Amino acid sequence: MSSVSAEAQRRRTFAVIAHPDAGKSTLTEALALHAHVISEAGAVHGKAGRKSTVSDWMDMEKERGISIGSSALQFEYAPEGHTGEPYMINLVDTPGHADFSEDTYRVLTAVDAAVMLVDASKGLEPQTLKLFKVCKARGLPIVTVINKWDRPGRTPLELVDEIVSEIGLQPTPMYWPVGEAGDFRGLARITPDGEVDEYIHFLRTAGGSTIAPEEHYSPDEAASREGSAWDATVEEVELMTMDGAVHDQELFETCVTSPTIFASAMLNFGVHQILDTLCELAPSPRGRASDPKAVAAATGTFDESREIEDSFSGVVFKVQAGMDKNHRDSLAFMRIVSGEFDRGMQVTHAQSGRSFSTKYALTVFGRTRSTVETAYPGDIVGLVNAGSLAPGDTIYEGNKVQFPPMPQFAPEHFRILRAKSLGKYKQFRKALDQLAAEGVVQILRNDLRGDAAPVMAAVGPMQFEVMQARMENEYNVETVTEPIPYSVARRTDAASAAELGRQRGVEIFTRTDGELIALFGDKWKLAFIEKEHPELTMEPLVAD
């Protein structure tokens, strides 16, 4: 086995997805705690003592207690009894709020598996359902974690039945709870053939800020210790097994079944069991096919796919500025797809054909960064001030390769953005360009409104708040916004733009990437023009 293959085999790259307030950032912190890369979890009981988590570093995230941007954490982890090199974990915490769906969807193109976090009292929620469909469409295996089992909630079988009926995913128990929701005593470990073989009893720690000690008991000892609570656990597992809910690796990797674990991220109960399951079952990095459209348009040597042992290639899934106020730089987050990455290597940007050096390359842990010398498939590397890179771009060495573009959502909210002070125009333009490159919002311009009054287009209105807050905090530019009388956007072309621009209730803009965008007053105006002018181009703004 080559060194690249060996390194790839020990990588586990996954995202944590869920509805807002299901506990994603708390779980992310707990996973880092159990890997011994932090000494104390950032989330503790009580508002007065609550700290921000390591993955939520923006001021708005700290103030509101929600994730509004994805963040990457990399660390090593060795399960108990594991021999050989530890696993390298690349974990991405994602925003749960629907207004930031585009960021989450991009992350899901850069990982090999997902942890679907479900609130024990609320079950499946709308955003969870949407994200599951994306995972299913992309063939991402899912590990299901029923979180907040320390609080009153629904029964285990009721939650399992809902997952089966609502999304057609069959949970297969790996660690089943002992004690009903709100009385979390521990977990029963389940063997691959559905047998209960051990009881893990958890002991609480102050505020759940440190690793919860464990006591291990045989099934007979557990029956004597826990009585009816243990009997109920065994009975539920037997019912699941009789129904065929046992782990099958092939069905898991094809998103048919989902290993299931019950946990309390706040108390650090069941957390290292999640890591152990991911290390054991989640797939290691694999190759990736090129964009069929790019292959069809190619005139020279073009690789239709890259396997992990091939020459270096990577895909950018996120660009983030403002992580380091001392340097005012930006980071392009790249998922390595194939080959070995060495800092300083010369690579080619597939979209422009230009060559550039990767002299400044970092690994990240939330906001903390360190220089990376070498990285392998599955790793996430931050390239500093790679200004020509945007989400979805490919960089490579050797034969050309170009991976499929990132999804881009249709905006539904639009507002004009202006700098409060004309003296801040230069900073305003710089901030606008950098934040637009990140994908915080889409920026639309036309000659009528000029560069001083661009239009922001967003999936949800909270994106506007993030844009304004970051312009003020990171670039010292105060802004104001104004409503604009449009609610529907469509992609058009030069031939259609002239006629569309003459229609009442329609305005034509150019997006930062050069696309012509037509904004319509409402869906009825769009429907009327489509009926009157079927020859004109009015395409939905959704990536292929």
User: Is 23 one of the annotated binding-site residues?
Assistant: no
Q: Name the β-bridge partners of 313.
A: 338, 396
Q: Name the β-bridge partners of 400.
A: 302
The Cα-based distances of 110 to 70, 330, 362, 528 in angstroms read 12, 19, 17, 40
- With beta carbons less than 8 A apart as the criterion, state whether 455 and 415 touch: yes
User: Is 93 one of the annotated binding-site residues?
Assistant: yes
- With beta carbons less than 8 A apart as the criterion, state whether 369 and 324 touch: yes
Is 164 strand, coil or helix? helix
Position of tokens 């934040």? 435
CA distance 185 to 207: 17
Q: Tell me, rounded to whole angstroms, the distance of Cα 16 from its chain centroid.
A: 7
Structure tokens at 536: 């004109």
Residue 64: CB atoms within 10 A of its CB come to: 14
Q: Tell me, rounded to whole angstroms, the distance of Cα 479 from its chain centroid.
A: 29
Pairing, β 71-77 against β 186-190: unpaired
- With beta carbons less than 8 A apart as the criterion, state whether 379 and 88 touch: yes
User: Is 155 one of the annotated binding-site residues?
Assistant: no
- With beta carbons less than 8 A apart as the criterion, state whether 291 and 370 touch: no
Position of tokens 């965008």? 517
CA distance 114 to 139: 10
Q: Based on C-alpha coordinates, what's the Rg of the chain?
A: 25
- Furthest C-alpha separation in the chain: 81
User: Is 94 one of the annotated binding-site residues?
Assistant: yes
Which element (helix H / strand E) includes 251? helix 249-253
- With beta carbons less than 8 A apart as the criterion, state whether 345 and 336 touch: no
DSSP, res 180 = -
Closest CA to 66 of 86, 95, 90, 100: 95
- With beta carbons less than 8 A apart as the criterion, state whether 24 and 61 touch: no
User: Is 97 one of the annotated binding-site residues?
Assistant: yes
- CB environment 19-47: b (16+ within 10 A), e (fewer): bbbbbbbbbbbbbbbbbebbeebbbbeee
Is 56 strand, coil or helix? coil
CA distance 469 to 476: 10
The CA angle 186-114-436, to the nearest 5 degrees, is 130
CA distance 483 to 124: 35
| Binding-site entries for GTP | 93-97
Annotated binding-site positions:
93-97
